[in-house]
Amino acid sequence: MKVPEYPENEDVRIEILRSLNILDTEPEERFDRITRIAKRLFGVPIVLISLVDLKCQWFKSSQGIEPSQMPQSRDVSFCGHAIVGDEIFIVADALLDDRFYDNPYVIDEPKIRFYAGVPLIISKGIKLGTLCLIDRCPRILNEEDRRLLQDLGQMAVQELAVLQLATIDELTQISNRRGFVALSQYSLKLCKRENKPASLFFLDLDLFKEINDRYGHAEGDRALIDFSMILKESFRESDVVGRLGGDEFVALLSNVDREETQLVLERLERSLEEFNQKSNRGYQIICSVGIVAFDSSRHQSINDLLAEGDRLMYAQKQEKRKKSVYSPS
């Protein structure tokens, strides 16, 4: 038996999957409808919408078998193989395939002989799982069958995209509060388990009300979008960046020590300075920042970090006002 390989973007893939808050949730008609259609159209005994987590797979929808009847280890899953590629993954006869002839799914229930799984690909090529057909007899798919399975897979992707939109800020296209909290909780658990440092940046735009009042809300929206772009460029791809609402932004950095955190802050300050020099808009994008080092003995959740970051950010903003760095809006 061959154990599935991991996609190159596995860390990001897992973060996005878990941010949807879909794992271990109740069945939903919008997903069950797709698997029922697939079961009827292809005449197979089993159809699944399978989501592949770090160590296991989990079935959002299943037709023809109870999830408890299938071991859910990723190491023995067919779907783990399917998400490595972009095309439909087909095993015409598992008993004749060196990768699967001794797989527990093949030897024992559900006694898979045929498998076809279309990867469920959302933004940035992230494959969360599959819509898969399973039969206890060998079979093949012709070109029309493949197109039909692709179409049904796209229907499942559209339903997942609806969930993803609920975690994305519509204006800036970065994580909203819900998405940030979900991703950050996973990152903090990982840092705590592996004893790695983490830092939270709590950022608030200075004089944002003045921009809205003087230049209009459309220009204010433009400033928020620009600031979110600056954040994405300043932080690493692995960092979790989000907009909490209004002019409040956050970023969680994992596996960074105090010195690295300072370097990130300096990079952000340089990026803002360069942007302001080039933009020539009559106003500058500036911010106050509260930075908190994660301490598992004091911070039980991401909300604890957010509360402390908010307090430190506000203290910096007040200090600027005392020093007349800018006039209060």
Band of pLDDT at residue 218, cut at 50, 70 and 90: very high
Instruction: Determine the 3-state secondary structure of 291 from DSSP.
Output: strand
H or E element: which one contains 129?
A: strand 127-135
CA distance 292 to 312: 8
- Alpha carbon distance 225, 231 (integer Å): 10
Asked if 80 contacts 52 with a C-beta cutoff of 8 angstroms, the reply is yes
pLDDT-derived band of residue 326, with 50, 70 and 90 as boundaries? Answer: low
Residues near 90 by beta carbon (within 8 Å), at least 6 away in sequence: 115, 116, 140, 141
pLDDT attached to residue 70: 76
What is the mean predicted confidence (pLDDT) over 46-75? 90
pLDDT, position 11: 86
Q: Residue 292: name the closest of 266, 314, 310 by CA.
A: 310
pLDDT in tens, 152-180: 999 999 999 888 778 889 899 898 998 89
Range of lowest pLDDT (38-42, 171-175, 180-184, 280-284): 180-184
Under a CB-based contact definition with an 8 Å cutoff, are residues 118 and 156 in contact?
no
Contact 294, 198 (CB under 8 A): yes
Going along the chain from its start, the domains and CATH numbers come out as: 10-165 (3.30.450.40), 177-322 (3.30.70.270)
Q: Which two tokens stand for residue 37?
A: 């259609």
The sign one gets for the Cα dihedral 327, 281, 270, 188 is positive
Beta-carbon count within 10 A of 282 CB: 9
Residues 6+ apart with CB under 8 A from 262: none
209: which residues sit within 8 A by CB, 6+ positions away? 329
DSSP reduced 3-state for 313: helix
User: To 5 degrees, how large is the angle CA 9–CA 13–CA 17?
Assistant: 175
What is the CB neighbour count within 10 angstroms for residue 208? 21
Cα separation, 279 vs 231, in Å, equals 16
Question: Which pLDDT tens digit goes with each residue over 97-155?
Answer: 999 999 999 999 999 999 999 999 987 789 999 999 999 999 999 999 999 999 999 99
Q: What's the whole-number mean pLDDT along residues 15-38?
A: 90
* The model's pTM: 0.64
Q: Which of 14, 20, 9 is nearest to 179 (CA)?
A: 20
Taking alpha carbons only, the member of 317, 270, 266, 264 closest to residue 290 is: 317
